[in-house]
Each structure stands twice: as structure tokens, then as C-alpha cells.
Amino acid sequence: SSDRKARAKSPVFMTFDDIGGQERAKRELKEALDFIIRHEDIKKLGIRPLKGILLTGPPGTGKTLMAKAAAHYTNSVFMAASGSEFVEMYVGVGASRIRDLFKEARARAVKENKESAIVFIDEIDVIGGKREGGQQREYDQTLNQLLTEMDGIHTTESPRVLIMAATNRKEMLDSALLRPGRFDRHIEVDLPDKKGRLHILKIHAKNKPIAEDVDLEAVAKETFQFSGAQLESVMNEAAIYAMREQSETIKARHLSLAVDKVMLGEKTDRESTK
């Protein structure tokens, strides 16, 4: 799809420093990635290659950012797709799209002179959901193709391929995906705690004119259970309130209106889906 191509082409300049909070998740992910970078040692010790990393956690917590930062950290080509893109009317189309995705990742790595490629699949549960009662679905072939691609990855191969996937419904995944040699490394990306929220707010305040009366620590306290995406939204909405008032800086009042707006927006969203 053109959507996927657009995303694949957008430059990846995301580093772990651009991700607020998530200290444990970042550490675990880096540890896993170090295995990929130190592949000579891994080979010597006969360690099974790491093929798949699954990121789990609520929406908007930074799973996509993590995958992009992983690509930067390992100097890999980054290719992204979403599980929902593979749900097709015609049998076989999803499977050939998966095949193309991996082919393109390898081709790009060669072309860009990189030793590795990361293929990121968001909403993996859409194609990798549990298969119950032997029921056949049109996208089973897609899942089978993904498993085939994973099984075909070798440590000695160049470029090396790593698959990262994200879901907020881990319990829905088919056990075939979770077997050793597939997505056998799981990293939880939770809602940020207060310290994490402050860090995220600071990241998104960086390029904004913040007034002297603003206490980001107080905002972090007020935004209990907000995701990173919601905190980004708070900073953006606050800037819009400031603009409406033709204020040159973002003041505490704008931020507090923005917090209410994002909190209320979420509530009405939830109510309307009931």
C-alpha cells in the first residue's frame, strides 16, 4: 500500500533519548539488541539467534518509537507495516505482501550498505490472533507466511533480519508466534509513571515557548494514567490554546485547559464505543 511505502521512506531519526520514561523497557530492548550487534561472539558461543521481539502494552506508549530507535541503535534499515493492512478479501494477497516486505527489507539493506534490517509489524494480533476450532480464515496464509519468513532467518545470513512486532492484546496471540525461535523475547511498554510523564512532557516541550509560570512537574502529577501519545497531545493542545489567545508563550492556564480537554476527550471516546 502507498501508506506503507510512505512510512517506510520517512527517515528514521528516532533515538532512545527521544523516548521519555520507559527506562526498564529501553534497557531490556538494548540488551536484546546488543546480541545482534555482537553477532561474532554469539556465533562463537553457539547461541540461538534472536529473531523476534514482541513489544506489548497499551496504545500510545511508544512501541513504534522503540522499534524506530532499535533500528537507529543497530544501524539497520527500518521497514514498517501494520497487521490491519494484511486483511484482504482475496486469499493469498496478504501472504505475498509479507513476502514482499521481507524481500524489500533485504534489498534496501544491501542498497544502503547496512548489515541488518528491522521489520516492524504493528497490531500483530490482527494477523496473528488465536486460531480456534480449526477455523480457516482468509488471513491464515498471511500468518503462515510470516512464520515461514521467521523460520527462514539465519544468523549467518547477510543482511541479518530482526522482526519486531507490537500488540496491546498479547493474550490474543496464537501460540505458534510465541514459540522459541519466533517472538521469544517480550518487552512490556507500560503507561509511564510520574517521572516518566515528566520526561515525556519535557521532550515535547523542547521546541515550544514555555512561560515562566509553568510547572511541568505539577502537570506530570495531574496526568495520572496518561499515555505518551496523550501527553504529546496535551502539549500540542496547550500550544493551540496559546495561539487562540495570541499569547507568545504557553502558560500554565493553557496547559491545564489542555489536560482537561485530553482527559475529557478520552472519556467521551470511551463512552461512544460502549
Binding site for ligand ATP (CB under 6 A): 19-22, 59-65, 122, 166, 168, 200, 203, 228-229, 232
Nearer to ligand ATP, 63 or 251 (CB): 63
Closer of 44 and 270 to ligand ATP (Cβ)? 270
Cell 490491519, located at residue: 84
DSSP state of 47: P
CB of 106 to ligand ATP, least distance (A): 24
Report, in Å, the least distance between residue 168 CB and ligand ATP: 6
Neighbours of 72 (CB within 10 A): 16
Burial class (CB in 10 A: 0-12, 13-18, 19+), 256: middle
CB of 97 to ligand ATP, least distance (A): 19
Nearer to ligand ATP, 16 or 39 (CB): 16
Nearer to ligand ATP, 59 or 152 (CB): 59
CA–CA separation, 12 and 147 (whole Å): 26
User: Up-side HSE of residue 100: CA atoms within 13 Å toward CB?
Assistant: 12
Q: Closer to ligand ATP by CB, 5 or 195: give it.
A: 195
Least CB distance to ligand ATP at residue 211 (A): 22
Check if the beta carbon of residue 82 is closer than 8 Å to that of residue 121.
yes
Tally of CA atoms within 13 A in the half-sphere of 122 that contains its CB: 20
Cell numbers 524506530 label which residue?
68
Minimal distance, residue 199 CB to ligand ATP, in Å: 7
Residue nearest to ligand ATP (CB): 228
